[in-house]
């Protein structure tokens, strides 16, 4: 593979971060076969904030929109939401999320991230999960960043159908179809 010039690398860096603002410096350093420090210097020159700041900016826009539950009840960090349309969250897998013997993430955390994102996505005061069909496709490990996207497919007669896809490094690890009950009056079932 031919080594890129600094200008070429920075152009490609901008393009990659535009397509996926949640790529880590470590992943970028592997992608371009340069040191993490080189990536940081490139970002600094291009006025691109570090990952944590990029996530924070996107998340700040989203928090005020969610109606169905408080932010503390959502598993993962909501980074983008368009109510009754689409939502994205990030969950960094830490020690408390994995089995101690093999550092594989416990499935209920991936399910909880997907399920709470479905609840947050609905533009109603009240939402509950009626049913779900999920597939765990690949193990998620300690240190992985799980990016989950929920898309509303149908909403009528107090039922919503939502499709959820979770990825790690752009590889699919979880898929789910959720049916949600909603009642904008907040009444019980």
Residue whose token pair is 């393009």: 15
pLDDT computed for residue 183 by the predictor: 83
Same domain, 100 and 173: yes
Q: Are 158 and 138 in contact (CB under 8 A)?
A: no
Which CATH number belongs to the domain containing residue 96 in this structure?
3.10.129.10
| pLDDT band at residue 48 under the 50/70/90 scheme | confident
> Does 65 or 17 have the greater pLDDT score?
17
| Total count of residues recorded for the chain | 189
Task: Tell me if 129 is assigned to some domain.
Answer: yes
Same domain, 67 and 14: no
Q: Are 106 and 167 in contact (CB under 8 A)?
A: no
Domain count of the chain? 2
> Does 54 or 1 have the greater pLDDT score?
54
> What are 21's two structure tokens?
């603002």
Same domain, 70 and 98: yes
Same domain, 44 and 75: no
Same domain, 28 and 66: no
Q: Name the DSSP letter for residue 46.
A: T
Same domain, 110 and 161: yes
Compute and round to an integer the Cα radius of gyration of the chain.
Answer: 19
Report the SS3 class of residue 20: coil
Q: What is the mean pLDDT of residues 35-51?
A: 88
Write the pLDDT tens digit of every residue in 12-22: 998 888 777 77
Write the pLDDT tens digit of every residue in 128-146: 999 999 999 999 999 999 9
| pLDDT band at residue 188 under the 50/70/90 scheme | very low
Domain, as residue range, for 25: 6-48
Same domain, 12 and 102: no
Q: What is the mean pLDDT of residues 31-36?
A: 91
Q: How far apart, in whole angstroms, are the C-alpha atoms of residue 22 and residue 42?
A: 16
Does residue 47 surpass a pLDDT of 60?
yes
Same domain, 133 and 71: yes
């Amino acid at each position: 593979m031919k080594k890129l010039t600094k200008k070429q690398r920075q152009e490609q860096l901008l393009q990659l971060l535009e397509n996926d603002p949640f790529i880590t410096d470590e992943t970028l350093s592997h992608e371009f076969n340069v040191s993490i420090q080189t990536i940081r210097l490139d970002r600094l020159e291009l006025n691109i904030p570090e990952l944590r700041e990029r996530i924070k900016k996107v998340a700040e826009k989203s928090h005020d929109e969610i109606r169905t539950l408080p932010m503390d009840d959502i598993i993962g960090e909501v980074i983008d939401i368009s109510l009754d349309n689409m939502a994205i969250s990030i969950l960094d897998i830490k020690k408390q999320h994995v089995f101690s013997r093999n550092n594989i993430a416990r499935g209920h955390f991936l399910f909880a991230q997907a399920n709470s994102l479905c609840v947050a996505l609905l533009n109603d005061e009240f939402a509950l999960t009626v049913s779900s069909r999920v597939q765990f496709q690949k193990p998620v490990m300690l240190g992985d960043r799980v990016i989950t996207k929920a898309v509303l497919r149908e909403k009528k007669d107090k039922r919503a159908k939502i499709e959820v896809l979770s990825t790690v490094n752009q590889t699919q690890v979880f898929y789910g179809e959720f049916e949600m009950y909603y009642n904008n009056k907040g009444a019980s079932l």
